[in-house]
Amino acid sequence: MLNILYRDDKLIAIDKPSGLLVHRSLIDKHETRFAIQVLRDQIGQRVYPLHRLDKPTSGVLLFALTEDAARNMGTVFGGNQAHKTYLAVVRGYAAEQDRIDYPLREDLDRMTDARAQQDKPAQPAVTDYQRLATLELEISDGRHPTSRYSLLEVTPRTGRKHQIRRHLKHIFHPIIGDTTHGDGRHNRIFREHLHCQRLLLSARELRFTHPVSGAPILIQAPLDTEFQRIVDLFGDVRCARNDP
C-alpha cells in the first residue's frame, strides 16, 4: 500500500518508493506494478499523473483526481510554479552552494522516443544546490586511499528529463547509485561496503499554490530506511526539514 502524503477533492500525493515506475514503459516490459495502477486500486478512482519521478528516485509524487484539476495543475507545472526540493548523496566534496546553468539536449530513449525529433537544440536548464554535510570513508576508491562524499539539498529551476542526475554528473559530482550517469567505482563501494542498493536521490518537498483554493500547499516525504541510514553516516544533519 502506498503512503498518501496529501489529499483533497482535487489532488492526491504519495510517497513513491524507489524502484516503482510511475506508469507502464517499454523500457521495463517485465514490470507489472505502476504507481498509477497501485494508487487507482488503493483509492478506487482514476488518477492523473502531473509530473514524473525516475523509477529509482523516491519521494513526493502528485496526481490530480479530476481532468479539470489535471489541466489546472498542468499550468502550474508548465509555468515552473511548482517548487521541488531533493536530497542527494554525491561523489566528492561539492562546493558549499552553487547554481548549475547548463543547457541540456532532450534525453531520448531509442525505444520510447523513436518518433521524437532527434536533433532538437539544447534547452535551458538550471539547478541550484546547497551542501549540507560531507563524509570521508576509510575505503579506497582505487585512486585515493579514502572516498569522499557530499550530502546535497537540490532545487531544480527547470524540468528537463533526468536534469538533476545529468547536471550533477556535469560538475563531476554524480549521484551515488546512478547506473546511467554515475560512477561505477563509488556505486560499488556503497553496494559492497554499505549494503546500499538504491539511487540516493529523493524528492523531499513540493510547494505550489492550489489552483482552486489559492492556498499555499507544502507536501513533504520522509526518507526510507535505507536512505536514512546513509544520511545518518554524515552525522547530526538537519536535512531539508527532516521531519515532514
218 near 207, Cβ under 8 Å? Answer: yes
Output the nine-digit C-alpha cell for 177. 547509485
- In a domain, residue 119? The reply is yes
Catalytic one among 15, 54, 178, 183? 54
Q: What is the CATH number of the domain that holds 64?
A: 3.30.2350.10
**How far apart are alpha carbons 55 and 177 in whole angstroms?**
12
Place 139 in a pLDDT band, splitting at 50, 70 and 90.
very high
Mean pLDDT across the chain: 91
- In a domain, residue 238? The reply is no
Place 241 in a pLDDT band, splitting at 50, 70 and 90.
very low
Lowest mean pLDDT among 37-41, 56-60, 137-141, 237-241: 237-241
The residues, any chain, with a CB within 8 Å of residue 188's CB and separated by 6 or more, are none
88 near 169, Cβ under 8 Å? Answer: no
- In a domain, residue 34? The reply is yes
Query: Three-state DSSP class for 82?
Result: coil
- In a domain, residue 221? The reply is yes
- In a domain, residue 14? The reply is yes
Residue with cell 514524473: 52
pLDDT tens digits, residue range 90-114? 999 999 999 999 999 987 665 445 5
User: How many domains does the chain fold into?
Assistant: 1
Q: Which domain holds residue 209?
A: 3-232
**How far apart are alpha carbons 97 and 88 in whole angstroms?**
14
**How far apart are alpha carbons 96 and 158 in whole angstroms?**
21
143 near 179, Cβ under 8 Å? Answer: no
The whole-number pLDDT of residue 115 equals 56
Active site residue 54: yes
- In a domain, residue 151? The reply is yes
Cα-trace Rg, the chain: 18
pTM of the model: 0.90
- In a domain, residue 244? The reply is no
- Cα torsion for 221, 170, 106, 84, to the nearest 10°? 20
pLDDT tens digits, residue range 8-53? 999 999 999 999 999 876 566 666 789 999 999 999 999 999 999 9
For residue 242, is pLDDT > 50? no
